[in-house]
Amino acid sequence: MRSFRIGSLFGIPIKLDLTFLLVLPLFAYLIGSQIEEVAGLLNDGLTAGIDIGAISGGLMPWILGLTAAVGLFIGVILHELGHSLTAQRFGFPIDSITLWLFGGIAAFSEMPENWRQELTIAVAGPIVSVLLGVGSYALFSVIPASLSGARFVFGYLAILNVALAIFNMLPAFPMDGGRVLRALLARNQPYARATQQAASIGKLFAIVMGLFGLFSLNIILIGVAFFVFIAASSEAQQVTMKAAFQDITVSDIMTPVSELHTVDPKATIAELIQRMFTERHTGYPVVENEAVEGERLVGLVTLSDAREVAPVEREAYTVEDVMTTELETITPKSDAMTAIERMQKNDIGRLLVVEDGDLVGLISRTDVMTALDIVQQSGAVAFSGRPRTAD
């Protein structure tokens, strides 16, 4: 997409997102432009003994700014590697580690629902950051006072890595601290409910962070707040759906073929639009009726296909001219969650349910949302006679 691979560590691809290329020079600039203040703080706080005159002349602030920024992002990669290697040890594969606008992301193909595993994976990153802070401090203390630049970089990295650990441990789900919170909440209640609670707290934190960013005119903090809010909402929704649809298959919630309105490929677009209007459906499977073979599925036609034909030509064109013939299908035995993910991934509103080449039903986003409403309002539901416990 917008990212490219720069290498790999322990078999995990490391990628840079294009937005990261904006952040690196920005950080280098920010560190470089505040070098005298920061060095002063290091001298006061860590008795660094940095010769400020030696590092604030010429290109020195920018060179040190860039070095510290690169060092910080190496720290971010190692932080993500801490999460990733711990997850791998529990058997969860990691697709990649990406550096982007707001730091690092380790992309999991699957999340652990076991609270102990999640807790361990979540704290592994901040632990790495603290260790990097301690390591930077150790290097800082052994570097001779004559090397003011190196003392500046390692002193600064010691503080930045510890700050990174503390910031990530804020209980703002889906940040690390929020994941720790969810793990602790999931000890004695269902995973989905724990996620809902952690996400609500995460969103609250995001709002506070956003307001704080707004008042202090800190664009990065506003961005992080926005990101946390969106990510908390979408992860909570995904987890809720997954929990609600556990044990529910496509055939449980699809519209079966007997109740399905179909359209003939020879019908005109005018007729199709009239039917959409009266039946209030926006998509129809196109089925051909043959005397010998019976019904045969040939395509799918939607309102947007029909709209492509200008009103004056709607008597002249037929369904066959505008329908989609490359059909996204799913089997009735698939999990309902698989159907949802397939619709989201392909950005389509409905899937045809096909078994052994025969159309057996249609599943639409509306079907999914209706089923979700029913499941959520009634608690545990026994679709197709399978009783569920409230886990």
Q: Would you tell me which residues interact with Zn ion (CB under 5 A)?
A: 125, 168, 176
Contacts 24+ apart (CB under 8 A), 382-385: 383/247, 383/248, 383/252, 383/253, 384/249, 384/251, 384/252
CB-wise, 168 or 240, nearer to Zn ion? Answer: 168
CB-wise, 61 or 75, nearer to Zn ion? Answer: 75
Which residues have a Cβ under 8 Å from the Cβ of 71 and sit 6 or more positions away?
153, 157
**Minimum distance of Zn ion from residue 225's CB (angstroms):** 17
CB-wise, 155 or 177, nearer to Zn ion? Answer: 177
**Minimum distance of Zn ion from residue 242's CB (angstroms):** 23
The answer to whether the CB of 288 falls within 8 A of the CB of 296 is yes
Task: Give the CB-nearest residue to Zn ion.
Answer: 125
DSSP for 378-389 reads HSS--GGG----
In the annotation, is 80 catalytic?
Answer: yes
**Minimum distance of Zn ion from residue 231's CB (angstroms):** 13
**Minimum distance of Zn ion from residue 216's CB (angstroms):** 24
CB-wise, 136 or 168, nearer to Zn ion? Answer: 168
Annotate 120-151 with b (16+ C-beta within 10 A) or e (fewer).
bbbbbbbebbbebbeebbebbeebeeeebbbb
**Minimum distance of Zn ion from residue 232's CB (angstroms):** 15
Out of 36, 80, 110, 355, the active site residue is: 80
> Which of these, 200, 192, 198, 203, lies nearest to 241 by C-alpha position?
192
CB-wise, 171 or 299, nearer to Zn ion? Answer: 171
β 350-355/294-302 pair status: unpaired
With the CA atoms of 226, 231, 233 and 235 taken in that order, what torsion angle do they form, in degrees rounded to the nearest 10? 180
- Catalytic residue IDs: 80
